[in-house]
Structure 1
């Protein structure tokens, strides 16, 4: 009996250590590579507005790893900062942002396997506030995948402070559900957005329409 318990304990301990090892690997962050002005490409617009890369449910370093490496290899952009956020809101970073051109900032949630996106809204709000206050970011680009986009919508649109102090330049959503108040069972869900009760979705939609009209 004791031998069986000992074996079971060792097995469970080994699995826990393996899980932590895998999670550590997934959250390692993509290495950055500085972009030299002499390597600028003629057809690329280089801007001091940073781009935030937000993963979706279960997303990790792998989410944007190939994209970041490709952009750096082609001298299109440079990864300058990784920012990790824990479920309790604790933040730690690697790298620095000081106005580099076409800077990429990689956001990594230490745990984003929840049954809903709501826990990450609070964490992402903390990240956005940190970036605005610590680096005085007044304008950002956003690339968000899946639930990461939904989290961003609610984090940004739900904060008057962020809307007043951090403008959105360009936002790219990759397979983002966006509107969460309509049932997944509806066959024509996305044709019924006018029936939405999601106030943040409506506000984002109106802001996008206004921006399009101004650009015309």
Structure 2
């Protein structure tokens, strides 16, 4: 009996060590970074390794991009860094570590109230961006946003001058399952908001506003639009119609814009940011021209 217990303890310890080695970046990226620096181990960081800022969508949380950052750090593409929780009063709670020597620091911006309206989110996001520039000296970032997080970023982009001195400049923007023209979905794949060659048949209030302010979007912003289709006849990822997501092409018509379509069960709205094929596409996009 004692022998069996000993064997079980050894097995548990070995599994624990294996998990630690495999996913050491999950919890300990910042710690590991400082250990490397203390040991004077050289890093492969380049000037183009700007931070990646993640924005969750409606009802999202710190967990939205948790597995994404784990996967990216486990492959040494990027480093888990800061988490910023923006309170409704604009105060920000910060956890984690940031250092300019990190390889593509991944920074998650979360909102205390994840069910608020887009303009509120944009205001809160502006507070986070201001902190990144003012407190951490971050000059440039790439943005990855899921669902309503994409609308939050565009609202921020158009209503706050992110090219001003108090915000980092944004080089690249990735939208994942973002409903650029509303959330109408039908089982037969047809909605009043479907696209025509010149634009949507019907425009949502947010889409109209984004189109009216499209000149506020810098023409040098590069955009990747990730779109999901369950391939079940609905022409949607569940909550977001394909044509709603594709409407972004009209908003970013002056930009370097590209789309990537994913189909099947793992193209479901909440699975898109957990899809390893989506990971690869975003990685390819962020590494291009660097």
- Same fold by TM (over 0.5)? yes
Aligned-residue RMSD, C-alpha: 3.2
Alignment of 1:1-216 (within 5 A): 31-33=27-29, 34=32, 47-99=48-100, 100-114=102-116, 116-160=117-161, 162-165=162-165, 166-179=168-181, 184=184, 186-188=192-194, 192=199, 196-198=208-210, 199-201=212-214, 203-204=216-217, 206-208=219-221, 212=256
Describe the shift of the 1:206–1:72 C-alpha distance in structure 2 as closer, same or farther (beyond 3 A).
Answer: closer
Q: Which has the higher contact order (CA 8 A, sep 6+)?
A: 1
Residues 153 and 201, structure 1, Cα contact 8 Å, conserved in 2: no
Q: Give, in whole Å, the separation in 2 of the partners of 1:113 and 1:125.
A: 17
Q: Give, in whole Å, the separation in 2 of the partners of 1:47 and 1:74.
A: 18
Deviation at 1:203, TM superposition (A): 3.5
| TM-score (normalizing by structure 1) | 0.69
Q: Give, in whole Å, the separation in 1 of the partners of 2:209 and 2:95.
A: 39
Deviation at 1:123, TM superposition (A): 0.8
Deviation at 1:31, TM superposition (A): 3.2
Deviation at 1:96, TM superposition (A): 2.9
- Gap runs ≥5 in structure 1: 1-29
Q: Give, in whole Å, the separation in 1 of the partners of 2:218 and 2:194.
A: 19
Residues 193 and 200, structure 2, Cα contact 8 Å, conserved in 1: no
Structure with greater helix share of residues: 1
